[in-house]
Structure 1
Amino acid sequence: MRVPKSLLTAALTTAVLTLGLPAAATTAAASPHHPGHVDVLFIGAHPDDEAGNLATFGQWKENQHVTTGVITVTRGEGGGNAVGPEEGPALGLIREAEERRAVGMAGITDVHNLDKVDFYYTVSAPLSATVWNEQQTLEKIVRLVREIQPKVIVTMNPSPFPGQHGNHQEAGHLAIDAFYAAADPTAFSSQLSKERLNTWRTARIFSAGGAGSGPAGPSCAATFVPTDPTAQIFGVWTGTQSPAHRKSWAQIQRDASRQYLTQGFGTQPPTVSTDPTQLGCETFTQIDSRVPYDPHSTATSAMLQGATQPAPGGLPLGTEFSLTTSTFQVSPGRPFTVTAHFSPLPHAKVSLTLPAGWTATTTGATTFTVTPPATAAVSTRATIGGTLTSGRTSGTTARAVAVTAAVTATQQLLPQVADFQAWATKTGVPQLLGFVKPVLTLASGGSRPVAISVTNNSTSVQSGTVTPQLPAGFTADVPSKPYGNLAPGATGTVTFAVRNSDPSLPTANRGGVGGDYDYPITTSSSGASDTAHAALELVPTTTIPQASSTPTVDGSAEPGEYPGATLDLSRRWEGDACTSAADCSGSAQVSWSNDALYFLVHVTDDTLGKQVDPTDCKRHWRTDSVEITLDPRGTSENTSTTFKSGIFPVTSGGPACFERDADNHQGPGSDTAPGMQVAAKISSPYNGYTLEVKIPLADLPAAVDPAHLGMNILIYDSDTQDLTGQTRLAWSPFGGVQGDPYRWGVATVDGYTAPPGRPITPTPPVIPATAASSLDSPQSILQSATIGVPLAGGPAAARSRSAQTAFLRKDTVTALLAPTGAGTAHIFVYDPTHGTLASTTIAVSGAGVRTVRLPVTPAKITAQTRVLVAFDAGTSGTTSSALRIFRT
């Protein structure tokens, strides 16, 4: 879980820096009495995103007395509900309550919801950024960081690896941006000038998880081997026993995880193994640090070094020490600059630790010139270590660089990967790049242009060749192509026409390695050749014929209705493996007639999952269902420009029903696809069902390109009665494929022409925009009133007190309000045991005393019952109050 010591100690330079002027200010120490202060802040997208880290946060609280808080961008309104029919804001408030119960088991009391909408599952960070109004959300997070002053931030992996939720990616982007922006006086400066906040320099930031492998057991932190040897990955063993709870933290985390009932977590086994060797580590990857720490440490508290506890070596807590480099990509034999940033200390000196053969000389008060040897291996990463010494105390840090060839090549990136690369470069975290393999999809038996970008990393003009060594079954128009006269720092492009010459190759996740047909790209230059790696993925293809007899949607096929090929839907993309074809398998046939597509889907299934009520015809993945996805132009970056329908073959009310989900216009089928028809036949005795579906092409967000219609058909199988699915099958199966249009199959609609005038540009998406509000959450209001941090990451209203007193007389609670201006008061009588006993919302036109009476059941009023008032002053902010209730 650390930078290998061999990389840091291979050679020690003799160059040393002596402190002149400080290169960085000392990290501010938050007052323990600062309102809402926590030591560690987790930033996620949804309730339950922190679930996999609660064993760590709980241990820190119990053993190091380190407090943790949580920022949750949404309340998860777009998720499933395994326990009831609630959706939208009502579901969001339920999920907030689940989250508070779960994190409370790890000693966490503060959960800040930002009130952004959880619109639906997407793998697109750019779409998430748009829907959430990225800058507004960032402003909220920066405000909270400046208010509660965390010393460590933990967030989600921001990388767009396949299947990674776009909301999770965007939460990671926002957290990392906030780490830097909160310390920048020019970022959201009105928070400093008008709201009287101060900049805040969080000491360290991590993403949850780490790429690598290692055995479970008490030594899992020490035996973990990172995939990237320069990655600074730390581990916390979950098998540590909690004296207070008398169980392992792995068990406490399982208990907590089972609180997320709406998401089906309650079906997890209630107990974990009691064998310590079977319990693993929670891992975390360091993104940046402003303070000294031990990169080799495997202690449970290693991530807290320099932040909440002194780093090894004795430097005072709050000391800053870090390294930056003039470039992340360094070249053999080419010097670059390393700058040391540190707090003012008596007689401070800095020395560097470099890989063998690297040299360094001092070039200024805080800088070194470092030169890799001309023989340094390219396409590798190297670690530069630093040691800050002051008298008898010292501290260490580390920074990675990438050793690159004079000229490098990269297969063209998917749009979401290119967006991530631009963000990481702009934000200054290039070390996060290079871990998402460049992948392009290709229709089985088809061809496509493949562009390869060529970058000159040297200081001289370069010329050479690019040679993609394609895997067996793929060919290019020519073996190699030249590039020439590429200026230093410039990027050019060479394009190959690539064809799948062997259409018998397996498609989707059955092809290559996990779906990837990997291949190297060799680029020559005047220096030496470089090899990059990329992959092609094959998606299945079919031809949709015109029906000679327009299908009647009745759940069965008649002659002439479906003359085309039968598509295999029995390939798994997520969930448990089918125990047999009788457990879960399927096939489909597709045809077209009169500007509509027709689908006949046969599903073999041994157990019918829970039947939803017709009024609950939504979130189809919870039980037995079929999903049909259509990308009309075959070019969508995310599903907001596609058509996706989830179809339940049977409901508790009898007939099949359908809805649209996570697409251009999510909602009830009758509203969003008025021409669509479905019919089902359920076998008796039950061994499966047949669905027949008509989808008018006019219901799609754009005219169909008959030569390149993106299409997938997915089966969701559930054998339970608790609305939790087990297995997911598809025609084109990849992990997370429901959100990845580029990985859907390709269909040719034979003989079809779209009607004149139908637009080829997709209509703007209709994205759900209604989120639960903290103003309507008694738990959020009580927290705000208790710790003094305004609701939802917003500003504080001018006056902090909007309520005066409350008393109970007979069956009525009377509250006296004293607002200082116009706004809206959200008022609750709330008891921790009984929940909301009464509530109302009133508009206030100006300052003055207001009397509000709320009828209650007196027997439910306890010593813990409070009148909660959240006063919303609009753009001026909010203020929250919690009033004891006096009996009269």
Structure 2
Amino acid sequence: MLRRGLRQVLWTGCTALGVVGGVLPLAADTARAVPVPTASTERAHTDVLFVGAHPDDESSSLAAFGQWRERQGLSTGVVTVTRGEGGGNAVGTEEGAALGLIREGEEREAVRRAGIRNVFYLDKPDFWYTLSAPLTAAVWNRPPQPPADTLSRLVRLIRATTPREVVVMDPRPFRQHGGHQEAARLAVEAFRIAGDPKAFPEQITREKYAAWKPSRLLATNGGFLGPVGEACGRYRGSDPHTGLPVIGVWTGTASRGHHGTTWAQIERDATREYVTQGFASLPPKVETPREKLPCEWFTVLADRRTPPAPAAHDQSGPLPRDSQLRPLYADFRAWARRMRMPWLANDAQPDYPANPSTDVPAVAEAPVVDGVAGPQEYPGPALRLTHWEGARCADQKDCATDVRFSRRAGDLYVFVRVTDDVKGYALDAVADCKRHWRTDAVEIALDPRGRSDDTSTTFKTGILPFTKGGSGPCAERDADNRQGPASRTAPGMAVASAVTDPYRGYSVEVRIPLDILPASVDPDRLAANVLLYDSDTADRTGQTRLAWSPYGSAQADPYVWGTLRLPGYVPPPDHPAQPARIPQEAARSSDSKASLEQARRTGVPLAGGPRRPPEGD
């Protein structure tokens, strides 16, 4: 009964004004419950505040934000925790802060199409793709910053911009970027405490902000399987995991301000602004018939009438005990309980399939690393890689891959044979080797102890079998314990490739000394995955991905990797675990003309930092 009552309360708050024509109204009690912004805040006021981790995180919600503005006069502001410095670059070689400033420009151009003027950056460092919110939190709040530095900046921005609605990303761990998870977690907590004068009280006593409690909290729900077409905007759905209401905004609505263009098309035009992320390769025109265009879905996490700690959503079976949860999922459940939203952790940990495994045979003579599997060099079975993401291989000639392992003393040998029909773009061996996922490439991931919760304690190498100008293969390490060219980060590693002529595919052969892994190898639990990236175009975008263990985020989730057993291998006694080296470079708002102009116009300090108290205080 309590759960049914909760659902009714939330729906009352969501639909008292009705969801008309795919437009999502504010909570019904907004007008009487939320005070009008004062003169000191009205320059920065926004009705809706979206919180994301990177430029482009808002791109799949721009159709909704644009409609709210056009049809209800609701302004939207965007908070972006980082500038995506750790992401790829499909059109140039800029990295780090230089890339971050380019991505800021792309984001400002994209959101402008939906009528969004203000984007607030927190200047936190972006690094490689991870599934770990705890790791992301550690990087964003690295000493000497306080542990709650990012949270305090978000609370300050809510108090400065006085939104009625806060929109977050999906905080759940499975297949979610750790940055997205952490940005959502922080925004949920900021939503809860920004109205409490005891939370970061110096913002009130010294900086003269007022405590501010937004009316409603929404989370994007891109995985929700609701109806398509205009009726989806009136559909009353519920999230299958939490039981919370899900509401939709139809992307097929015609924009009055854009001469009848659908918001789906406007959003596509905006998304194509992200050229560094390869989004310019999206078709310029949305070809889906208007009557089949989908909604953008949002889960209502809380509104003003939500009980502080309602019961968890009923499930068909008992909830797993904490001891049955892997560490990342146990951490998420603990956080959800602290937020008094325990239902968010329902079904968070998926039913992982059994991990594949194989024995790695020891060989009497070391294989010659030449890109060719010689007789007796790889006596073990050929392990087939299967579809993981993207388009499926049309046939065996389109893309097919198998991998073999062997060991000689303390060296692991890997031979990957690839059948491919179209040669992808040849990247530069020096400037672009780290962007292996953008063209034809092989990736090898190793977790030495078989118990990592994220890839910061693993070894990962990406290998391009061919590079620009016929320079041969190149290898690097990325998204792992130590990143950079293999020549610098993986001493003793050797790589060779053989590319067929005429082109029908290639092979890659690698020697990896086990003593360069970030910890001593457990011969019974060495976890591994081998992944193939296949691109049939010259625009530096991938089409197909295969993996030995293809479940979930196969390249970033050590929980799914297979097991390599090394019979007879004895690890050296002196091999301490190595601390991770994670990039900390972040673009600064003080180096951005657009951010400086925005700060002058809105009165909100750069990077969500403290403002000076009024003179005389």
TM-score (norm 2): 0.90
Per the alignment, residue 246 of structure 2 pairs with: 233
CA 1:179–1:776 in structure 2 vs 1: closer, same or farther (change >3 Å)? same
Letter in 1 for 2:151: L
Aligned residues: 581
Question: Which of 413, 431, 451 is 2:343 aligned to?
Answer: 431
Shift of 1:210: 6.2
Per the alignment, residue 260 of structure 1 pairs with: 274
CA 1:664–1:200 in structure 2 vs 1: closer, same or farther (change >3 Å)? same
- Which deviations, in whole Å up to 9, do the C-alpha atoms of 1:713-771 show, x marking residues without a partner? 10000111111111110111112111100100101012111112123xx3111011111
Q: Distance in 2 between matches of 1:325 and 1:783?
A: 36
Shift of 1:431: 2.8
Per the alignment, residue 169 of structure 2 pairs with: 156
Question: Which of 651, 656, 659 is 2:467 aligned to?
Answer: 651
Per the alignment, residue 697 of structure 1 pairs with: 514
CA 1:408–1:564 in structure 2 vs 1: closer, same or farther (change >3 Å)? closer
CA 1:326–1:96 in structure 2 vs 1: closer, same or farther (change >3 Å)? closer
Percent of aligned pairs with the same amino acid: 50
- Which deviations, in whole Å up to 9, do the C-alpha atoms of 1:54-87 show, x marking residues without a partner? 0011111111111111000111111111111111
Per the alignment, residue 155 of structure 2 pairs with: 142
SS of residue matched to 2:437: helix
State whether structure 2 residue 293 is matched by structure 1 residue 279: yes
Q: CA RMSD in A?
A: 2.3
Contact 1:207 1:285 in 2 (8 A): yes
Contact 1:619 1:661 in 2 (8 A): no
Shift of 1:5: 11
State whether structure 2 residue 44 is matched by structure 1 residue 36: yes
Q: Point out the more displaced range, 133-142 or 640-649.
A: 133-142
Question: Which of 681, 684, 688 is 2:498 aligned to?
Answer: 681
SS of residue matched to 2:476: strand
Contact 2:237 2:247 in 1 (8 A): no
Q: Distance in 1 between matches of 2:454 and 2:312?
A: 31
Letter in 2 for 1:590: F
Letter in 2 for 1:29: V
Per the alignment, residue 778 of structure 1 pairs with: 593
Q: Distance in 2 between matches of 1:180 and 1:682?
A: 57
- Which deviations, in whole Å up to 9, do the C-alpha atoms of 1:330-383 show, x marking residues without a partner? 9xxxxxxxxxxxxxxxxxxxxxxxxxxxxxxxxxxxxxxxxxxxxxxx647xxx
Question: Which of 599, 615, 618 is 2:414 aligned to?
Answer: 599
Contact 1:568 1:731 in 2 (8 A): yes
Letter in 1 for 2:268: R
CA 1:664–1:102 in structure 2 vs 1: closer, same or farther (change >3 Å)? same
Per the alignment, residue 219 of structure 1 pairs with: 231
Q: Distance in 2 between matches of 1:538 and 1:416?
A: 19
Per the alignment, residue 396 of structure 1 pairs with: none
Gaps of 5+ in 1: 10-24, 291-321, 331-377, 381-403, 440-534, 801-888
Question: Which of 529, 535, 548 is 2:364 aligned to?
Answer: 548
SS of residue matched to 1:213: coil
> What are the residue-to-residue correspondences of 1:238-387 with 2, within 5 Å?
238-246=251-259, 247-273=261-287, 275-290=289-304, 322-324=305-307, 328=311, 379=315
- Which deviations, in whole Å up to 9, do the C-alpha atoms of 1:140-190 show, x marking residues without a partner? 1111111111111001011112x1111111111010010012111111111
Q: Distance in 1 between matches of 2:487 and 2:400?
A: 29
Letter in 2 for 1:796: R
Shift of 1:681: 0.8
Q: Distance in 2 between matches of 1:68 and 1:634?
A: 45
Contact 1:589 1:600 in 2 (8 A): yes
- Which deviations, in whole Å up to 9, do the C-alpha atoms of 1:186-243 show, x marking residues without a partner? 1111111221111111111100116643321110133454343842211111111112
Q: Which has the higher contact order (CA 8 A, sep 6+)?
A: 2
Shift of 1:8: 4.6
Per the alignment, residue 444 of structure 1 pairs with: none
Contact 1:213 1:225 in 2 (8 A): no
Contact 1:36 1:787 in 2 (8 A): yes
SS of residue matched to 1:431: helix
Q: Distance in 1 between matches of 2:553 and 2:254?
A: 36
Question: Which of 172, 177, 182 is 1:165 aligned to?
Answer: 177
Shift of 1:273: 3.6
Contact 2:449 2:522 in 1 (8 A): yes
Contact 1:212 1:224 in 2 (8 A): no
Q: Distance in 2 between matches of 1:546 and 1:416?
A: 35
Contact 1:125 1:169 in 2 (8 A): yes
Contact 1:210 1:285 in 2 (8 A): no
TM-score (norm 1): 0.63
Per the alignment, residue 788 of structure 1 pairs with: 603
CA 1:273–1:652 in structure 2 vs 1: closer, same or farther (change >3 Å)? closer
CA 1:270–1:5 in structure 2 vs 1: closer, same or farther (change >3 Å)? farther
Contact 2:47 2:76 in 1 (8 A): yes
Shift of 1:34: 1.8
Higher Rg of the two aligned structures: 1
SS of residue matched to 2:110: helix
State whether structure 2 residue 328 is matched by structure 1 residue 416: yes
CA 1:326–1:680 in structure 2 vs 1: closer, same or farther (change >3 Å)? closer
State whether structure 2 residue 110 is matched by structure 1 residue 110: no
Q: Distance in 1 between matches of 2:159 and 2:312?
A: 33
Contact 1:563 1:591 in 2 (8 A): yes
State whether structure 2 residue 478 is matched by structure 1 residue 661: yes
> What are the residue-to-residue correspondences of 1:523-562 with 2, within 5 Å?
535-562=351-378
Per the alignment, residue 25 of structure 2 pairs with: none
- Which deviations, in whole Å up to 9, do the C-alpha atoms of 1:843-880 show, x marking residues without a partner? xxxxxxxxxxxxxxxxxxxxxxxxxxxxxxxxxxxxxx
State whether structure 2 residue 394 is matched by structure 1 residue 579: yes
- Which deviations, in whole Å up to 9, do the C-alpha atoms of 1:379-412 show, x marking residues without a partner? 47xxxxxxxxxxxxxxxxxxxxxxx98x986770
Per the alignment, residue 725 of structure 1 pairs with: 542
Q: Distance in 1 between matches of 2:8 and 2:519?
A: 56
> What are the residue-to-residue correspondences of 1:436-455 with 2, within 5 Å?
436=348, 438-439=349-350
Structure having the higher helix fraction is: 2
Q: Distance in 1 between matches of 2:205 and 2:230?
A: 50
- Which deviations, in whole Å up to 9, do the C-alpha atoms of 1:237-293 show, x marking residues without a partner? 111111221211111011101111111111111111473311111110111111xxx
Contact 1:539 1:744 in 2 (8 A): yes
CA 1:326–1:82 in structure 2 vs 1: closer, same or farther (change >3 Å)? closer
CA 1:717–1:746 in structure 2 vs 1: closer, same or farther (change >3 Å)? same
Q: Distance in 2 between matches of 1:178 and 1:631?
A: 36
Contact 1:574 1:735 in 2 (8 A): no
Letter in 2 for 1:30: P
Per the alignment, residue 336 of structure 1 pairs with: none
SS of residue matched to 2:354: strand
Q: Distance in 2 between matches of 1:327 and 1:730?
A: 41
State whether structure 2 residue 114 is matched by structure 1 residue 96: no
Q: Distance in 2 between matches of 1:410 and 1:768?
A: 33
Letter in 2 for 1:78: G
Q: Distance in 1 between matches of 2:321 and 2:6?
A: 30
SS of residue matched to 1:746: strand
- Which deviations, in whole Å up to 9, do the C-alpha atoms of 1:591-633 show, x marking residues without a partner? 1113111111111111111111122211210111100000000
Q: Distance in 2 between matches of 1:745 and 1:738?
A: 12
Q: Point out the more displaced range, 216-225 or 656-665.
A: 216-225
Q: Distance in 2 between matches of 1:142 and 1:6?
A: 27
Q: Distance in 2 between matches of 1:748 and 1:125?
A: 30
Contact 1:55 1:249 in 2 (8 A): yes
Q: Distance in 2 between matches of 1:224 and 1:727?
A: 36
Q: Distance in 1 between matches of 2:587 and 2:224?
A: 38
CA 1:797–1:325 in structure 2 vs 1: closer, same or farther (change >3 Å)? closer
Letter in 2 for 1:120: W
Shift of 1:565: 1.5
